Amino acid sequence: MHDPAIRETPLVGFLTLLRKEVLRFQKVGFQTVLAPVLNAVLFMLIFSHVLDRHVTVYGDIGYTSFLVPGLIMMSVLQNAFANSSSSLIQSKITGNIIFVLLPPLSYREFFAAYVIAAVLRGLLVGLGVWLVALPFVELPMAHPLWVLGFAVLGGAILGTLGVVAGIWADKFDQLAAFQNFLIMPLTMLSGVFYSIHSLPEVWQQVSHFNPFFFMIDGFRYGFFGQSDTSPWLSFAVVAACLLLLSALTLAMLARGYKLRA
């Protein structure tokens, strides 16, 4: 019988779902953490070998130094997206999402657990890329709080997009389309590999419509104290994007879209 002696502690449900999501990516750490770190390091080695002696940015900053924060942030964003989206679509396709839907978890707890786990994986991969890059490149960190703030906000935005994609997609093919035709181009064209000041005027303007540009630019400001645009503007854009996207996603979850028929 339902035993009142069993202590049901508030927040335990949410914390358990968060812990489960973290354990899930930890258990396949080679695939979820080490492989993305290796990917980013390969990018760094190849691009720095080709361009480091030819390009400087913001006056005297070498290209490899400029590149590394972009690669770190790109890794944070892509892995935050991958975590929530792949976890949800796997659970949906195998049917074990039911174990999360039957307990008394609210849609807000559901949202928070998936997004925070996504941010944690993004930060872990980003930290890995930073640590591996340190011996190869001189990388100052002028404003650590800006670095952390943009990493968390950017990871949260992509974790939220991952929740949307994971719930929307009915098969892996659809998820891959979301990733390859939306996330990847927006990331690649956000200034990871270049400063937008090196672009023609029109493309500079176009870049300002890409929220990923503000995530990367603000994050890079944390390292160099210099950026293509004001860090406060970047912060405002990124925070507004997160709030808007979170509100839309919470509304979607409250309706039970594709989760509760």
Partner 1 sequence: MSEVAIRISGVCKRYGSLQALDHVDLEVRRGEFFGLLGPNGAGKTTLISSLSGLVRPDAGTLEVMGHDVVTDYRNARRNLGVVPQELVFDPFFSVRELLRIQSGYFGIRRNDAWIDEILEGLNLTAKANQNMRALSGGMKRRVLVAQALVHRPPVIVLDEPTAGVDVELRQGLWHFVRKLNTDGHTIVLTTHYLEEAQELCGRIAMLKGGRIVALDTTANLLRRFASHSLKVRVERPEVAVALGGTLTNDERVEFDFGGFDDVEPLLARLRAAEAGVTGLEIGEPDLERVFLEVINRA
Closest C-alpha among 93, 86, 100 to residue 14: 100
CA angle, 142 then 146 then 152, to 5°:
140
Of residues 88, 100, 156, 158, which one binds partner 1 by CB under 8 A? 100
The minimum distance between CB 23 and partner 1, in angstroms, equals 7
| Token pair 């950026």 in the structure block, residue | 227
Q: How far apart are CA 37 and CA 132, in angstroms?
A: 8
**Is residue 254 a contact residue for partner 1 (CB under 8 A)?**
no
**Is residue 181 a contact residue for partner 1 (CB under 8 A)?**
no
Using CB under 8 A as the binding rule, the residues of this chain from 105 to 134 that contact partner 1 are 105-106
Q: How far apart are CA 236 and CA 233, in angstroms?
A: 5
Using CB under 8 A as the binding rule, the residues of this chain from 23 to 82 that contact partner 1 are 23-24, 27-28
3-state secondary structure of 50: helix
Count of residues engaged in binding partner 1, rule: CB under 8 A: 35
Between 18 and 133, CB nearer to partner 1? 18
The minimum distance between CB 9 and partner 1, in angstroms, equals 6
Distance from chain centroid for Cα 144:
18
Q: How far apart are CA 151 and CA 222, in angstroms?
A: 10
Between 54 and 260, CB nearer to partner 1? 260
Stretch that binds partner 1, among 50-58, 67-75, 94-102, 131-139 (CB under 8 A): 94-102
Between 46 and 98, CB nearer to partner 1? 98
**Is residue 12 a contact residue for partner 1 (CB under 8 A)?**
yes
Of residues 34, 50, 101, 247, which one binds partner 1 by CB under 8 A? 101
Q: Are the CB atoms for 215 and 239 separated by under 8 Å?
A: no
Q: How far apart are CA 128 and CA 79, in angstroms?
A: 12
Of residues 30, 59, 102, 201, which one binds partner 1 by CB under 8 A? 102
**Is residue 3 a contact residue for partner 1 (CB under 8 A)?**
yes
Q: Which residues pair with 116 in a beta bridge?
A: none
**Is residue 258 a contact residue for partner 1 (CB under 8 A)?**
no
Of residues 42, 45, 50, 98, which one binds partner 1 by CB under 8 A? 98
Q: How far apart are CA 34 and CA 21, in angstroms?
A: 17
Q: How far apart are CA 34 and CA 211, in angstroms?
A: 27
The contact set with partner 1 (CB under 8 A) reads 1-3, 6-10, 12-13, 15-17, 19-20, 23-24, 27-28, 91, 94-96, 98-106, 256, 260-261
